[in-house]
Amino acid sequence: MHIPVLLEEVLEHLNPQANENFIDCTIGEAGHSLAILERNKPKGKVLGIDWEAENIKKLEEDRLIPVCGNFANLKNIVRQHNFQPISGILLDLGFSSWHTDESGKGFSFQQDEPLIMRYAEDGLTAAEIVNQWPEKEIGDILKEYGEETFARKIAKEIIRQRKIKSIIATTELVETIKKAVPGWYQHKRIHFATRTFQALRIATNQELENLKEVLPQALEILKPEGKLIIISFHSLEDRIVKNFLREKAKDNILKIITKKPITASIEEIKFNPRSRSAKMRVGQKS
């Protein structure tokens, strides 16, 4: 099961009151949403969006409106459901534990699965990137999205390997990465495939582009004094959020509530290692 990250901190800042409405743009297994629904009784609703149809299928809850879609289309989704007024919007970015543990879509380098890495039912797959993109572009995404030291070497090895046989499974990709990186890199605490897998996931789902699209829409549809909360797990995501909040604060469209990002406590990290890299920022619409 996916353990919601920074749950107490999210609730403290959203501060849900009776009958208020909220949007969870990344509902996943509804960890945050269920806690919100406990507090906005008896008539408050949550519009819960997820791009992953399997997550949406599992949700059946009173006062919860589940929607399968990309949060980059937030305004349209909200319009279609005539959902208002909105007191708070939450984005808890990235993938859920279900994706790595159960989806069978190749999100984890620890399982032997097809290289899909896609939240949506159709569209680009990681296998297409690995087998069709030019070496330079593969190297670029590994460097930029994965901050991978051996980006160019791995890209080169991917091209060499795919000329012999297409790389279609996670295990084949892991073997390819292994051939490209030095021995000492294979014995580090962080697995040598971590950064490549992260980069491919971000590129496959266009995660940074979606984030850039959703932020202005979220701010626009919030009611005055409504809260916008973003939890990110990657420095590039956090930079996008930080710059957006700063820019809008300069224009007096919102107030920055978190001068510095909120991070997980040592206790939370022990209990849920996934929270280690979480950074939460909060803005309040003017």
Ligand X SMILES: C[S@@+](CC[C@H](N)C(=O)[O-])C[C@H]1O[C@@H](n2cnc3c(N)ncnc32)[C@H](O)[C@@H]1O
Residue 71 lies near ligand X (rule: CB under 6 A): yes
State the minimum distance, in angstroms, from the CB of residue 161 to ligand X: 29
CB 285 within 8 A of CB 251: no
The answer to whether 202 contacts ligand X (rule: CB under 6 A) is no
CB 6 within 8 A of CB 32: no
What is the per-residue binding string for ligand X in 258-277, x denoting contact by CB under 6 A?
Answer: --------------------
Name residues whose C-beta falls within 8 Å of residue 114's C-beta, 6 or more positions apart in sequence. Answer: 104, 105, 106, 127, 168, 169, 170
Strand, coil or helix: 199: helix
User: What 8-state DSSP symbol labels residue 48?
Assistant: E
Q: Which helix (H) or strand (E) element contains residue 177?
A: helix 170-180
Task: State the CB neighbour count (10 A cutoff) for residue 221.
Answer: 19
- Single residue of 9, 20, 50, 148 touching ligand X by CB under 6 A: 50
Residue (77 or 181) nearer to ligand X, CB: 77
| Residue 189 DSSP code | S
CB of 35 to ligand X, least distance (A): 9
Distance of closest approach, residue 187 Cβ to ligand X, in angstroms: 29
Pairing verdict, β 254-256 and 227-232 = unpaired
49 part of the interface to ligand X, by CB under 6 A: yes
CB of 95 to ligand X, least distance (A): 5
Instruction: Note the maximum CA span of the chain.
Output: 61
Binding of ligand X at residue 29 (CB under 6 A)? yes
In whole angstroms, the minimum distance from the beta carbon of 73 to ligand X comes to 8
Peptide bond into 114 cis (omega under 30): no
Q: Between 36 and 173, whose beta carbon lies closer to ligand X?
A: 36
Do 173 and 122 meet the contact criterion of CB atoms below 8 Å apart? no
Tell me whether residue 21 or residue 210 sits nearer to ligand X (CB atom): 210
CB of 92: closest distance to ligand X in angstroms? 4
Query: Is 210 an interacting residue with respect to ligand X (CB under 6 A)?
Result: yes
**DSSP β-ladder status, 227-232 and 22-24:** unpaired
Residues touching ligand X: how many (CB under 6 A)?
23
Which listed residue (92, 148, 238, 268) binds ligand X by CB under 6 A?
92
Burial of 273 (0-12, 13-18, 19+ CB in 10 A): exposed
Residue 64 as a binder of ligand X (CB under 6 A): the answer is no
Where does this chain bind ligand X (CB under 6 A)?
2, 4, 26, 28-32, 49-52, 55, 70-72, 92, 94-96, 119, 205, 210
